[in-house]
Amino acid sequence: MRSTVRLGAVGYLNARPLVYGLMEGLGAQAEGVRDNLAGIGLRASALGPEITIRFDVPSVCATLLAAGEIDLGLIPSITYLEGPGHKVIPEISIASDGPVASVALFTRKPTREIRSLALDTSSRTSVVLTRILCAKRFEVAPSFVPRSPDLPSMLAVCDAALLIGDPALFVDHRTLGVEKIDLGQAWTDLTGLPFVWAFWAGRSDAADADVLQRLQQARAAGVAESDAIANQYCAGNAARQAVARHYLRENMKYDLSARALEGLMAFYREAAALGLVERTERIAFF
């Protein structure tokens, strides 16, 4: 086991409960790190002698793990199929069961009239889910255009746009005159199952029993403090704080239950059926 474990986390609000507990008991150093957690793409920050952490968008977490630049990544669930030999930390995920609020299509047209769709380049899992839902739920076959996550510019070139994370959660879509279609809800409507967006994964030697315990304890501590995390993350904006508190309490699920795994395997099967992945694979745990 290496002396330092490098974690790559997602910089969005939804990942904060999974890392918040890692900073407990670290005194002034932890306070300094917390002050900077609102941004995305922070430089690596030491959280102790054994664990370091950096924050990026989901697609970058997957790239860093594949390149060996981190040991454990909070990776988009679809990218597990790209990493032969990777294992997953048990009992932890970022999931939803019904509305997710932070992964959505935004459209000025009825779904049946969508002919072009801008895809948020921050995402991999949500892109595959969008393609599945277009085929199986919305019954449309639009052209897909990768775009940076800026809703007005996306909608300037396409009929609809996929947006994920904080930009999807906090955007005031009504002022833009667009409909927001929640993709977590659309998946559950289609399958009756939860959707697993991300989980901790890495090479088989990346985590020992101590690391597993620390990550699981961090999750428990973060879930218990979700209101405080939301208020801190959106400090100075009472309206956003209210949205964030509801989001972490009601939309986000942080376990990896048998039912969540059933939803994950259904996602893999649907992706394979459309030729979006080459294989499906059951999850191997540390």
Same domain, 81 and 108: no
Look at residue 59 and tell me if it is in a domain.
yes
pLDDT, tens digit (0-9, with 9 covering 90-100), for 14-24: 999 999 988 65
Same domain, 57 and 174: no
User: Is 50 exceeded by the pLDDT of residue 28?
Assistant: no
Cα(136)–Cα(274) distance, integer angstroms: 10
User: Is 90 exceeded by the pLDDT of residue 90?
Assistant: yes
26 against 165, higher pLDDT: 165
Residues 6+ apart with CB under 8 A from 123: 57, 58, 59, 76, 103, 162, 164
Same domain, 66 and 24: yes
pLDDT, tens digit (0-9, with 9 covering 90-100), for 204-250: 999 999 999 999 999 999 999 999 999 999 999 999 999 999 999 99
Instruction: Tell me which of 191, 221, 237 is where a domain ends.
Output: 191
- 3-class SS of residue 262: helix
User: Is 90 exceeded by the pLDDT of residue 50?
Assistant: no
Same domain, 210 and 172: no
Look at residue 286 and tell me if it is in a domain.
no
Q: Check: pTM over 0.85? Answer yes or no.
A: yes
CATH number assigned to the domain comprising residue 184: 3.40.190.10
Same domain, 143 and 23: no
Same domain, 89 and 202: yes
User: Is 50 exceeded by the pLDDT of residue 166?
Assistant: yes
* pLDDT at position 33: 39
Cα(64)–Cα(75) distance, integer angstroms: 10
Give the Å distances, CA to CA, from 281 to 78, 84, 195: 11, 10, 16
Look at residue 22 and tell me if it is in a domain.
yes
Same domain, 70 and 151: no
User: Is 50 exceeded by the pLDDT of residue 34?
Assistant: no
Look at residue 275 and tell me if it is in a domain.
no
pLDDT, tens digit (0-9, with 9 covering 90-100), for 105-132: 999 999 999 999 999 999 899 999 999 9
Angle at 11 between CA 9 and CA 12, to 5 degrees: 120
* pLDDT at position 23: 67
Same domain, 89 and 230: yes
The domain tally of the chain equals: 2
Cα(144)–Cα(188) distance, integer angstroms: 23
Same domain, 154 and 25: no
Across all residues in the chain, what is the average pLDDT? 90
Look at residue 259 and tell me if it is in a domain.
no
Same domain, 10 and 88: yes
> Checking phi first, is residue 192 left (phi over 0); if not, alpha (psi -120 to 50) or beta?
left
* pLDDT at position 126: 97
Whole-number percent of the chain with pLDDT over 90 = 82
User: Is 80 exceeded by the pLDDT of residue 6?
Assistant: yes
pLDDT band for position 73 (cuts 50, 70, 90): very high
* pLDDT at position 198: 97
Same domain, 179 and 208: no
User: Is 60 exceeded by the pLDDT of residue 3?
Assistant: yes
Range of the domain at 177: 103-191
Query: Tokens 């999850």 map to which residue?
Result: 283
Same domain, 79 and 27: yes
> Checking phi first, is residue 22 left (phi over 0); if not, alpha (psi -120 to 50) or beta?
alpha
